[in-house]
């Protein structure tokens, strides 16, 4: 459970919240305080500037000449909510709206302590017990600074404003963080639950339970939905393959058992004298026929086994396709005569040179013609057509036989697969012939297609590269 992506997502979500709180407390809080202090100092500075220009007219002498100035400064201080002081350049207090101790000196007063700012935070050279925001502005005479106006305000007001803004930020963050839980819910329903289903299905498929239907209701078209559909499709194909393999075991067992039973029975009959000597030649021919069946089955299995071991090498040569066809057709003379089948070879030239592996292509043609004869009706025709187009040679082998059911078209290339229709006709087949054909054509990077209608016939068409010589 600790490795669950859902747990990791929640932990990441909580970590994100903690980092945000830490960020607000350390960086944002500091920035907010600095901003509030600057704004408050700017406000005091603007108010002080108005007082300086209106009442003092930027000259300290006006303070002494105007008897009503003290009352005006007192009213201004009350209106602004601050303490106003007027001092000379030595730090002597000329007037203080909050004290009657005039002409007291501010110990260690140094205007340079302000640096490049017009305000400072602190007890202002020990004149206040609590933290205070102090703003200074000069009173300029004709040639030099004559004194300063000081505006003081307790930072309690600043902190109150700071706490209010910080509270607003926290409440906003909590609201956003709470609303973001919707993302967790969406993640749970859109990602986590489907992934759990996919994981459970993968475990079932690994156990060999390809009929597990946990992904049957996957209908979403997003990436996870497509993954679920793909896994479901894969399981369906694996189930089909498993069924085909079961059929193969049954078929191959039957294909081995039938000839072996015949061979054993006839040999035992000849040995114990049940079959007289003069009849033995007939039954020896049957034994030979059954032996050939076993040999053919074994050869096909060995061929596929060799290919499975990746020993797939092509011996590419240029050869005339017509010259390869002649001996193959002669081989099937007896079978065609027995079923009264005619092979109609159509070609515009006897010079169809291709670049391919001669032995493998001859095996492809042999298998396709053998299939056509096997599934053709008596007194029918098999059409073989060769033509060239651009850089390709097209070979077509068409019969008028039992055809292939529509639902079996895509399965005929599978190893050991036999259609139900073919079982009555294919007495000696193993279900490997078309698989070998497909493998060999693909090895040449060429294509093979099939067109078939049940009870009408089947046509196989494949291509080869035309020789450049």
Model confidence over 94-147: pLDDT tens digits?
Answer: 888 887 666 688 888 898 899 888 999 889 988 888 889 999 999 887 778 888
Domain boundary among 159, 178, 197: 178
pLDDT, residue 219, reads: 65
pLDDT band per the 50, 70, 90 thresholds, residue 6: low
Binned at pLDDT 50, 70 and 90, residue 423 comes out as very low
Shared domain for 290 and 378, answered yes or no, is no
Clarify whether residues 330 and 433 are in a common domain.
yes
Residue with tokens 């100092």: 41
Please tell me which residue, 312 or 82, carries the higher pLDDT value. Answer: 82
∠ CA 73-77-82 to the nearest 5 degrees?
145
Rounded to the nearest integer, the mean pLDDT of the chain is 80
190 within a domain of the structure (yes/no): no
Q: Which residue has the higher pLDDT, 212 or 455?
A: 455
Same domain, 307 and 320: no
Residues 236 and 139 in one domain: no
- Are 119 and 225 part of one and the same domain? no
Phi, psi dihedral angles at 81 (to 5 degrees): 85, 40
In this structure, the dihedral spanned by the alpha carbons of residues 94, 65, 49 and 51, taken in order and rounded to 10 degrees, is 90
User: 382 is written with which tokens?
Assistant: 């098999």
Q: Which of 259, 282, 311 is the last residue of a domain?
A: 311
Above pLDDT 90, what percent of the chain?
13
Boundary of a domain, candidates 267, 292, 311: 311
Most confident of 75-89, 173-187, 245-259: 75-89
Domain of residue 454, residue span? 316-465
Pick from 231-240, 392-401, 412-421 the range whose average pLDDT is largest.
392-401
Give the integer Cα–Cα distance in Å for 465 and 463. Answer: 7
How much is the pLDDT for 311?
Answer: 43
Q: Same domain, yes or no, for 25 and 171?
A: yes
d(CA 98, CA 104): 13
pLDDT-based confidence at residue 338 (cuts at 50, 70, 90): confident
The pLDDT-based confidence of 396 (bands split at 50, 70, 90) is: very high
Q: Report pLDDT digits (tens) over 274-301.
A: 888 888 888 888 788 778 767 877 776 6
Give the tens place of pLDDT for each residue, 19-46: 877 777 777 677 777 888 888 889 999 9
Q: Is the pLDDT of residue 150 over 90?
A: yes
183 pLDDT more than 70: yes
Task: Provide the whole-model pTM.
Answer: 0.44
Instruction: Report how far apart, in Å, the C-alpha atoms of 92 and of each of 52, 86, 442 are.
Output: 18, 9, 104
Could you give the number of structural domains in the chain?
Answer: 3
Whether residues 89 and 213 fall in one domain: no
In-domain check, residue 291:
yes
| Same-domain check for residues 320 and 391 | yes
Q: Are residues 169 and 251 in the same domain?
A: no
Domain holding 115: CATH number? 3.30.450.20
Closest CA to 231 of 209, 254, 257: 209
| Residue 259 confidence class, pLDDT cut points 50, 70, 90 | confident
- Same domain? For 224 and 163 the reply is no
Indicate if 215 and 259 belong to the same structural domain: yes
Strand 448-453, strand 457-465: pairing: antiparallel
- Do 448 and 399 share a structural domain? yes
> What values do phi and psi take at 397, rounded to 5?
-125, 115
CATH number at residue 409: 3.30.565.10
Q: Which two tokens stand for residue 466?
A: 């035309």
For residue 354, what pLDDT is reported?
92
**Predicted confidence band at 310 (pLDDT cuts at 50, 70, 90)?**
very low
């Amino acid at each position: 459970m600790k490795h669950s992506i859902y747990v990791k997502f929640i932990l990441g979500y909580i970590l994100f919240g903690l980092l945000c709180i830490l960020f607000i407390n350390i960086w944002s809080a500091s920035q907010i305080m600095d901003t509030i202090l600057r704004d408050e100092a700017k406000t005091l500075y603007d108010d002080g500037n108005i007082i300086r220009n209106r009442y003092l007219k930027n000259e300290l002498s006006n303070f002494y000449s105007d008897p009503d100035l003290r009352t005006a400064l007192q009213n201004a201080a009350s209106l602004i909510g601050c303490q106003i002081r007027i001092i000379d350049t030595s730090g002597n207090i000329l007037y203080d709206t909050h004290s009657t101790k005039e002409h007291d000196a501010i110990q260690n007063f140094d205007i340079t302590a302000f640096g490049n700012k017009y305000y400072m935070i602190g007890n202002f050279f020990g004149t206040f017990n609590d933290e205070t925001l102090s703003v200074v502005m000069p009173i300029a005479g004709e040639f030099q600074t004559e004194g300063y106006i000081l505006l003081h305000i307790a930072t309690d007001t600043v902190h109150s404003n700071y706490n209010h803004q910080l509270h607003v930020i926290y409440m906003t963050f909590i609201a956003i963080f709470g609303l973001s839980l919707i993302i967790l819910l969406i993640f749970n329903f859109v990602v986590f639950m489907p992934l759990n289903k996919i994981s459970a299905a993968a475990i079932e498929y690994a156990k060999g339970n390809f009929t597990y239907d946990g992904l049957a209701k996957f209908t979403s078209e997003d990436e996870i939905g497509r993954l679920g559909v793909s896994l479901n499709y894969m399981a369906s194909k694996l189930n089909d393959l498993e069924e085909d393999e079961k059929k193969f075991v049954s078929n191959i067992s039957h294909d081995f058992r039938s000839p072996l039973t015949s061979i054993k029975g006839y040999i035992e009959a000849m040995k114990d004298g049940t079959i007289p000597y003069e009849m033995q030649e007939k039954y020896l021919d049957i034994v030979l026929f059954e032996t050939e069946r076993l040999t053919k089955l074994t050869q096909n299995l060995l061929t596929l086994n060799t290919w499975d071991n990746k020993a797939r090498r092509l011996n590419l040569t240029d050869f005339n396709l017509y010259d390869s066809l002649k001996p193959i057709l002669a081989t099937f003379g007896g079978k065609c005569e027995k079923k009264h089948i005619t092979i109609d070879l159509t070609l515009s030239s006897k010079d169809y040179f291709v670049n391919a592996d001669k032995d493998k292509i001859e095996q492809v043609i042999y298998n396709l013609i053998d299939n056509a004869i096997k599934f053709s009706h008596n007194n029918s025709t098999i059409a073989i057509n060769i033509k060239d187009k651009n850089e390709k040679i097209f070979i077509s082998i068409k019969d008028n036989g039992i055809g292939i059911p529509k639902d079996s078209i895509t399965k005929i290339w599978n190893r050991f697969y036999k259609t139900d229709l073919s079982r009555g006709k294919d007495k000696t087949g193993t279900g490997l012939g078309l698989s070998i054909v497909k493998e060999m054509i693909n090895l040449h990077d060429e294509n093979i297609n099939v067109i078939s209608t049940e009870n009408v016939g089947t046509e196989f068409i494949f291509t080869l590269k035309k020789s450049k010589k």
